Structure 1
Amino acid sequence: MPLAGVNLQACPCGRRSAKGQTFDLDHCCGPLHAGQAAPDAEHLMRSRYSAFVRGDVAYLLSTWHASQRPATIELDVGSKWLGLEIKQHRTTGPDTAEVEFVARFRLGGKAVRQHERSRFLQEEGRWFYVDGDVL
């Protein structure tokens, strides 16, 4: 939940309440990073973005579906993440969904904009990132 006037760390995913208040990390993506299941693919996408910002490789790997998960990933240490915009979240089946997003970051002084449509699969009550198409 957002807490106005309290100096808490804003969640990197940028999620806001209906009143436009930013959610803090402990009440947004933090519980997912601590092991709570995401309620839907959009929340998982947001938590994965926050994990990229925070450099949480273990979380990124654990939320990547086993059928597509790489053995390891290396993050660009010099990346400065600038924001996430969710363009669309849609259910595509009983246990599948897609999230279209734009993530902005700066790498080596250059602005980068990653526009992707990602696919997600739910298994045993947990959502996983499967793969995506760069748009």
Structure 2
Amino acid sequence: MSLRSLPSIILAFILYNVVVFVSGGTDVLKSSLFELNMLSGGVWQFTVGDLIVLLTLFLLFAEIVKSTYTSTSSLVDHGLSMVVFIACIVEFLLVPQAATSTFFLIMVATAIDVVAGFTIGIRVARRDLAIGGAVD
């Protein structure tokens, strides 16, 4: 098993848990990293939770791009993505510190990773197998 087989979105899952459990609670997610004064007069705050969601979106993009490749490691990657998704569901339902919108969005990103990975993988495999015939 290569390192490429590991779903990179697990980094967001691990980062969330490290931030929340090391700091002792979910209040750290609301702490501001920086503020920008907008032309409208409003103030935009970028929080730790926003940073984790942003990182999750970038990792989801990488996972979707990775799912377009067909190799033996892609099956392992899809299986491990499912394991990460199940771990997210279990933590969301059973751990009080995971009952936040930030963690919910991480969980949704892992669900999209699982569904997109299998859907894109099946589509790419159908295209690769249809060497001489038409594909729907």
> Shorter-normalised TM-score: what interval?
under 0.3
Which gives a bigger RCO, structure 1 or 2 (Cα 8 Å, sep 6+)?
A: 2
Between structures 1 and 2, the one with greater strand share: 1
Between structures 1 and 2, the one with greater helix share: 2
TM-score, structure 2 as length reference: 0.26
